Amino acid sequence: MDIIDFHIHSNHSFDSNAGMEDVCEAAILKGVKEICFTEHFSLNPVVPTYGHMNFESYFKEIENCRKKYESQLMIKAGIEICEPHQRIEEYKEQLKSFEFDFILGSVHNIDQKKLRIFLENKKSTSAYGEFFAEVYQMICLADIDIIAHLDLLKRYAFNSIGNLNFKECKEQLVAILEKAIARNIGIEINTSGLRGKINESLPSYEILKLYKDLGGEILTIGSDAHTPETVGSHFEEALQMAKECGFNYIYSFKQRTPIAISAY
């Protein structure tokens, strides 16, 4: 299948210096056919993602890239909202005049603290329970299309309290995934974990399989690239995971409508 990368950050995100054109050209060189820029955004003034996003500049540059690469690359406009279940009416008002193709929802902060700070002095895997409780609230309340890196906490907890124990958290994960399915919210295979010390995708194979077993179908793949070099990385592994779990389709989005694309 054609590679479609639906989780990419450019210099419109606070933690990336990647120019959009550089990202597009890297994608084309790698044979990627479709990308979606999903810039970090938050309306919470105490978190790092606050205050960086300039929507006028973002959409103008998206349009310029679409014109420049229209015969080589499909470019979608997205956003990754941090804790979108908080300040719901503010988000609705702020974003109502923009036409996004795709919205990711993520939990990067708990109790107004970055996950790395939240984990300080945590000595028990109960921290995962607190994290998934926050994810569950997001799934219940937020207007999003996909859960970004569903088990993200393991990236920061790996060296302290250890990796996620799937069996310990399975009950919470079932609740999250059943609610997501009921609300037509999908999940992603985020390949960034395959580039790091944990050496596994976010979420793990077990969570992906659980989602499918519960009836989940809406699945995107995203590199979570913050540099041009990592666009489309580890997609072969991600597609193999999807195949082994029984998925027949990977999804694209247009104007927030999921579009099934044959995975093989």
- Tens place of pLDDT for every residue, the chain, 264 residues? 689 999 999 999 999 999 999 999 999 999 999 999 999 999 999 888 888 899 999 999 999 999 999 999 999 999 999 999 999 999 999 999 999 999 999 999 999 999 999 999 888 888 999 999 999 999 999 999 999 999 999 999 998 899 999 999 999 999 999 999 999 999 999 999 999 889 999 999 999 999 999 999 999 999 999 999 999 999 999 999 999 999 999 999 999 999 999 877
pLDDT for position 124: 81
Please report, for the chain, the start and end positions of each structural domain, with discontinuous segments joined by +. Answer: 3-262
Q: Is 216:182 a contact under the CB 8 Å cutoff?
A: no
Strand-pair category, 257-262 with 249-254: antiparallel
pLDDT for position 15: 95
The rounded distance, in Å, linking the Cα atoms of 108 and 46 is 12
Q: Which of 235, 236, 243, 184 is nearest to 208 (CA)?
A: 243
- Residues 6+ away with beta carbon under 8 Å from 216: 177, 180, 181, 186, 187
pLDDT for position 49: 87
Q: Which of 97, 119, 123 is nearest to 110 (CA)?
A: 119
For 48, 123, 204, 237, 248, the CA distances from 243, given in Å and listed in that order, are 36, 36, 14, 10, 7
> Per CATH, the architecture of 3-262 is what?
Alpha-Beta Barrel (3.20)
Query: What pTM was computed for the model?
Result: 0.96
The rounded distance, in Å, linking the Cα atoms of 23 and 30 is 11
H and E: helices and strands count for the chain: 9, 11
pLDDT for position 264: 74
pLDDT for position 123: 80
Q: List, in sequence order, the alpha helices (H) in 81-165.
A: 88-95, 115-118, 126-141, 153-157
The rounded distance, in Å, linking the Cα atoms of 76 and 253 is 8
Which two structure tokens, joined as six digits, stand for 109?
């902060």
